[in-house]
């Protein structure tokens, strides 16, 4: 029961922050004078790729090249 409640809390958080991220991207695009689709392609795609980048850099620094290469694919 606890895991089910935790699942719904995390799912709600993901939806909430995903909406905030897209609205922030739209507002940033308006502020910079860019189209919202361009902001979505460049900025939001870059933001969502940051966890993979950090994992690759960290695993390389720790000497685990196999994990770094596996993270790419």
Task: Identify the CA nearest to 18 among candidates 44, 38, 52.
Answer: 44
The overall pTM is greater than 0.85: no
Count of CB atoms situated within 10 Å of the CB of 21: 14
Burial class (CB in 10 A: 0-12, 13-18, 19+), 17: exposed
Q: What is the pLDDT along the chain (73 residues), one digit of tens a residue?
A: 899 999 999 999 999 998 998 888 889 889 988 887 888 888 778 888 888 889 889 999 999 888 888 877 7
Structure tokens at 11: 């799912």
């Amino acid at each position: 029961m606890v895991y089910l409640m935790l699942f719904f809390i995390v799912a709600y958080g993901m939806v909430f922050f995903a909406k905030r991220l897209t609205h922030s991207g739209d507002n940033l695009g308006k502020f910079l004078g860019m189209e919202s689709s361009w902001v979505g392609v460049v900025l939001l795609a870059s933001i969502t790729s940051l966890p993979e980048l950090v994992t690759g850099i960290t695993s390389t620094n720790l000497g685990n090249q196999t994990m770094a290469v596996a993270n790419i694919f």
